[in-house]
Each structure stands twice: as C-alpha cells, then as structure tokens.
Amino acid sequence: MTAALLDVPGAVREENRFDPALILPFLKSQIADLPDGPLELRQFSGGASNLTYLLTIGGREMILRRPPPGTKAKSAHDMGREFRIMQRLRPHFPCPKPLAYTEDESLIGSPFYVMEKLTGVIMRRDPPKGLVYSPDEALKLCHNLFDTQIKLHLLDYKAAGLDDLGKPEGYVARQIKGWCERFERAWTDDVPRCEAVIAWLKANEPADCLRAALIHNDYRFDNVVLSPADNMSIIGVLDWEMATLGDPLMDLGSSLAYWVEPGDGAQMQSLRMQPSQLPGMLTRQQIVDYYAKKTGIEIVNADYYYVFGLFRLGVIAQQIYYRWKMGQTKNPRVQMFGMFVTVLSQVAEKVINRSKN
C-alpha cells in the first residue's frame, strides 16, 4: 500500500491546540514501552465531534481523542466510557487497542485517551486517489462493511462484559424522545422545525426489536479501517463514543442515512460522505434485504428506520452547527451544517410521503 492511500493529518487548528509535552509524563506512567525521542502533534480534519490527533513520540504513532469545545449533550463525549468499551470489546471484535485514559483536565483542558494507531485505508467521500474498485470489488467491499456491522449486532455482549452499557428495553421510545428534545434545545431560527418528521416518528413508533444488540450508532465507511494488504477487508472499527445496547434496526437506519446512492437527488449527492455511489455498491433496499437475510430479522418498516436515521443525523449536525452559531467553534466546515439539516429534513419528508402512498 502506498502512502498516498493513507489519511494524512494537518496542523492543529488554533482553537484545538495544546502542548503535547504536558502529557508526556502521564503517558510514560501508563505505557510501559513508550520510546524516548521527538514529540509531534498533528490533527485529522475528518469528523466534527470528538477531536482526533496523531501523536508521535520517538517515531511511535498513536491516536489521541478528546471532546470538542463548547456546549455538548450531557451524555456525549464521555472519554472514559469510550475507552472502557474498547478495553472490553477488543478481545471479541476488531477495534484499536486503548492505551491510556485520564479525567485530569489540568493537562490539556479536558479528559482524553490515547489508543494504538491502526494503519490502513479509511474511506472518505471518494476512495483515495489511485484506488479503484471494479463493480465486483465494490460489491464485496459493501458486503464486508455490513457483515462487520452484523457481526457486532450478533455479538454476545454479556460474554464481552458489556451488559452494563445500556438498557435495551424501551430503547426506541427513548431514542425518539431524546433526539426530539436535543433538536429543540439546539434549534436555531435558520433551519426547519422538522415538525412533520417529528410527528410521524412519534405516531409510527415501532416496538423494540426482539433481539437487543451492542450497536455502534455511527457506523459508516470512515469509521472503519481497511486492510493495507487488500484495501477490502476491515481490520478495525473506530469511534465508539455513541455505542450502547439497543435496537439493531435503529443502528441500521442510522447507517442508511449516510448511504447516498446514484438515484438520489442533487442535494443528497452534495451531502455524500462515502463512496456508496460506486458501480457495484448495494442500494439501501438491497442493504435492508441483505441484513434481514443474514440476521433472520424480519424488517417490515424499513422506511421508519431510515427516516429516524435522517432525523438523527440532522440533529447531530444541528448540535454542531449550534456551537458554531454560538461562537464556540471557528471550524469553517461547520458553518455549512445548517444547510445539511435543511436537506435531511426535506429528504425525510419525501420518504414519509412515499411511505404513506
């Protein structure tokens, strides 16, 4: 694999800077084999939630994660929770090895954790330059992506020691109530109120899936690392900050919200974050059918889970946009998030109207 296929971090943004020398004594106390040598900190531009840095010490590369600045949802950005999930999950499922965690905010102004860096390809909006998939390869890649999600959903979370992670009973109702409340708190007057979408979600709320599961809650291409040997198989899943126990179909719906296919309109195409449009990739309906076949779960109301995913994604975007509106972040990417909320709301309404007919 050539270096051109790898994510390359840039300079740390001014608002996210800290002196990495301040954390070196702590890391040396936690990581036995940490080498001596030059210290460097760089920042990955992807993502707009938790901040991700490449920390290099004596040539050893590690990943540091910390919360963003500004107002945050009460239960979000819990560094300790994310760290503990990976500790327990790693013997059972592919994820990075967690190395060190602290709640001591005196070091960099927030809690943070450090984990091993997985070297491989991470898909963004399009494959890295020079990486081409034939239709058959794109289909296999798509299968690998959802096979890994299915593996997570079928995992014996009790055997992994994760049965205290959440309460599966009543999960759907709590999600609808919670995301509606989060949207109301973060709403700004330059985005839609989403009243029709909210009313439909509440009126058509399904019962919980009979098979509770460990769910990722932000599962998509740029949260998986592809093997450097074949650019096809998945060697690790990243970003466990929203993982919990709940309804796997709600997790699938959240993944479908990111899945922009060739037949979608121009506005949705502008929001595409992953190469789901490549010839050979499954459509959303084909993904639903594939998931149902592989898990044995009957999915009779796929539109509901897709609309929930669109609304939830819109709320996440609005929460981040709210921070920009309040001057809590100067990240220039974030000023477009209000438009994302508008588009996602419009798409959700179209799906609802189609579902009624």
For the domain that residue 344 is a member of, what is the CATH number? 3.90.1200.10
| Residue at which a domain ends, from 63, 85, 116 | 116
Closest CA to 112 of 15, 26, 201: 26
Please tell me the total count of domains within the chain: 2
Whether 149 and 64 map to the same domain: the answer is no
What burial class does residue 306 get, using C-beta atoms within 10 Å of its C-beta: 0-12 exposed, 13-18 middle, 19+ buried? buried
Q: Where are the alpha helices (DSSP H) in the chain?
A: 24-30, 79-89, 135-153, 171-186, 195-203, 248-257, 266-270, 284-295, 302-325, 337-356
| Whole-number pLDDT of residue 273 | 94
| Whole-number pLDDT of residue 329 | 81
Q: Within 13 Å and on the Cβ side, how many CA atoms surround 95?
A: 26
| Whole-number pLDDT of residue 1 | 47
Whether 248 and 109 map to the same domain: the answer is no
Whether 213 and 336 map to the same domain: the answer is yes
In a domain, 310, yes or no: yes
| Whole-number pLDDT of residue 74 | 44
Whether 112 and 217 map to the same domain: the answer is no
| Whole-number pLDDT of residue 5 | 65
| pLDDT tens across the length of the chain (357 residues) | 455 566 788 999 888 999 999 999 999 999 988 998 899 999 987 655 689 999 999 999 999 999 987 544 445 568 999 999 999 999 999 999 999 999 999 999 999 999 999 999 999 999 999 999 999 999 999 999 999 999 999 999 999 999 999 899 999 999 999 999 999 999 999 999 999 999 999 999 999 999 999 999 999 999 999 999 999 999 999 999 999 999 999 999 999 999 999 999 998 999 999 999 999 999 999 999 999 999 999 999 999 999 999 999 999 999 999 989 998 887 888 888 999 999 999 999 999 999 875
Closest CA to 231 of 138, 158, 102: 138
| Whole-number pLDDT of residue 215 | 98
Whether 151 and 80 map to the same domain: the answer is no
Whether 85 and 198 map to the same domain: the answer is no
The residues, any chain, with a CB within 8 Å of residue 234's CB and separated by 6 or more, are: 94, 144, 145, 148, 224, 225, 226, 227
Whether 176 and 215 map to the same domain: the answer is yes
In a domain, 97, yes or no: yes
Whether 140 and 112 map to the same domain: the answer is no
| Whole-number pLDDT of residue 76 | 56
Closest CA to 218 of 192, 250, 186, 191: 250
Closest CA to 160 of 269, 56, 221, 86: 86
| Whole-number pLDDT of residue 3 | 52
| Whole-number pLDDT of residue 252 | 98
In a domain, 124, yes or no: no
> Which structural domain, as residue segments, surrounds residue 314?
135-356
Whether 101 and 190 map to the same domain: the answer is no
pTM over 0.85: yes
Whether 30 and 65 map to the same domain: the answer is yes
Whether 275 and 154 map to the same domain: the answer is yes
Q: What is the CATH number of the domain that holds 93?
A: 3.30.200.20
| Whole-number pLDDT of residue 47 | 54
